């Protein structure tokens, strides 16, 4: 049985099925209000994993740090 899921994009360590990992993905979604259901609905259009990193590497960065890194690079002309 194959237990290999991926390799960490940061350190190269194998990520096996059953291991925790952190991924950053790009989602394209469309949000709309459904009159029939009287609620906001989100339709996924596309989803792609950008990076996959092992739990050890991923836990170095908390959500706030990831947000700062992405905002600093994506919301400026630094790309």
Min separation Cβ 27 and Zn ion, Å: 23
CA distances from 76 to 10, 26, 33, 52, 71 (A): 24, 18, 31, 24, 8
Min separation Cβ 47 and Zn ion, Å: 22
Return d(Cα 10, Cα 12) in angstroms, integer: 6
> Does residue 60 touch Zn ion according to CB under 5 A?
no
Min separation Cβ 9 and Zn ion, Å: 8
Which residues of the chain form contacts with Zn ion (CB under 5 A)? 8, 10-11, 13, 54, 57
């Amino acid at each position: 049985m194959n237990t290999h899921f991926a390799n960490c994009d940061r350190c190269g360590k194998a990520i096996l099925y059953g291991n925790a990992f952190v991924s950053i993905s790009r989602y394209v979604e469309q949000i709309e209000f459904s009159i029939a259901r009287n609620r906001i609905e989100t339709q996924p259009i596309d989803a792609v994993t950008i990076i996959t990193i092992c739990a050890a590497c991923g836990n170095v960065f908390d959500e706030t740090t990831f947000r700062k890194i992405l905002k600093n690079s994506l919301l400026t002309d630094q790309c």
